[in-house]
Amino acid sequence: MVILGIETSCDETAAAILTNNQKRITILSNIVASSASLQAKYGGIIPEQAAREQIKAIIPVIEESLRQAKLSPNGLDAIAVTYGPGLIGSLLVGVETAKTLALVWNKPLIPINHLIGHFYANWIADATPKFPCIGLLVSGGHTDLVLFTDHGKYKYLGGTRDDAAGECFDKCARLLGLSYPGGPEISKLAQKGDPEAFNLPRPMIDSKDLEFSFSGLKTAVANIVHSGQVTGDSKKHLAASIETAIIDVLVDKTIRAAKIHKVKNIMIAGGVAANQKLASQFQLTINNEQLSIKLHIPPPNLCTDNAAMIAAAAFFINQPVDPLNLQADPNLTL
């Protein structure tokens, strides 16, 4: 089976073609057009500008994905598209394009929840997760824990009550005068810093539930910056302290969820999953506590928004719909 995936939930315009020959998912092409220069200029995403750039990019991106895969539309078995959640203007670009192509090319159309799609980046690998497993989605807009018992069968365990972890990274980076997106910039700076230099809070780390909160950490950082404590080398120390505080909470809550539900597999997904310290701290905790848990994290290029994860999800959540009835849903949840 060969599937074309389309992803336009935020500011990326992405198309990918995947096949599952011999029960292994293989990427034939994976194209992402980014408006990173606009993000850097304005310090974030302006929804209307993102959608305008996507309108210009969507057809060339799909054409390039077909060219790299050495396929014509006749070689496709289905089209998968993100239909939510996300920015409504951006979602409409992808959904309406996918609906049109499905009708013109006479292909089944498979709608995919963007949040679930992120987890399926873990199935584009040699060692794939085994059910039941705990999934941590950690990105600029989401921090969620999910228990998966099978493909398409999952239970929401908890999430952030305010800022997402990636959002906290970005807002703290802005306070430090770093460029957007802030997560990678903080991580880069943190490599040279002392993570114990600032005593930052770990919000809700001791709560008995599996909820998160990062607004208090952001406020603590703002107070430090505004008090004038950040001078010279102290910026790198504060960056290291921020990164460590966020990671401590993510690791603690996720490991706790795995113990509660007695699972042997944990999969991480979303843009923050590309953070190398997050991966190393997870593995260190698993080793130190001598836990029989297998950790699954996609390669960095599959952690951020991409269409390969959307096509991968469609192999397992193969539920085509009438293209004329599909509507974008910016408020879709897990």
Residue 127 has a CB neighbour count (10 Å cut-off) of 9
Residue recorded with tokens 């799609």 = 117
Question: From its phi and psi, is residue 86 left (phi > 0), alpha (psi between -120 and 50) or beta?
Answer: left
Position 41 pLDDT exceeds 80:
no
The residue extents of the domains of the chain are 2-121+303-325, 129-297
Q: What is the pLDDT of residues 158-216, one digit of tens each?
A: 999 999 999 999 999 999 999 888 999 999 999 999 999 999 999 999 999 999 999 99
The yes/no answer on whether domain 2-121+303-325 falls in CATH 3.30.420.40 is: yes
Position 10 pLDDT exceeds 80:
yes
Share of the chain above pLDDT 70, in %: 99
- What is the structure's pLDDT at 125? 87
> What is the fold of 129-297?
Nucleotidyltransferase; domain 5 (3.30.420)
Q: What is the pLDDT of residues 211-263, one digit of tens each?
A: 999 999 999 999 999 999 998 889 999 999 999 999 999 999 999 999 999 99
Closest by CA position to 48, among listed 8, 82, 88:
88
User: 38 by DSSP, 3-state: which?
Assistant: helix
Q: What is the pLDDT of residues 42-92, one digit of tens each?
A: 778 899 999 999 999 999 999 999 999 999 999 999 999 999 999 999 999
The gap from C-alpha 79 to its chain's centroid, in whole angstroms, comes to 21
Distances (CA, A) of 222 to 171, 247, 251, 334: 9, 19, 24, 31
The mean-pLDDT minimum among 22-31, 86-95, 132-141, 316-325 falls in 22-31
Residue 283 has a CB neighbour count (10 Å cut-off) of 14
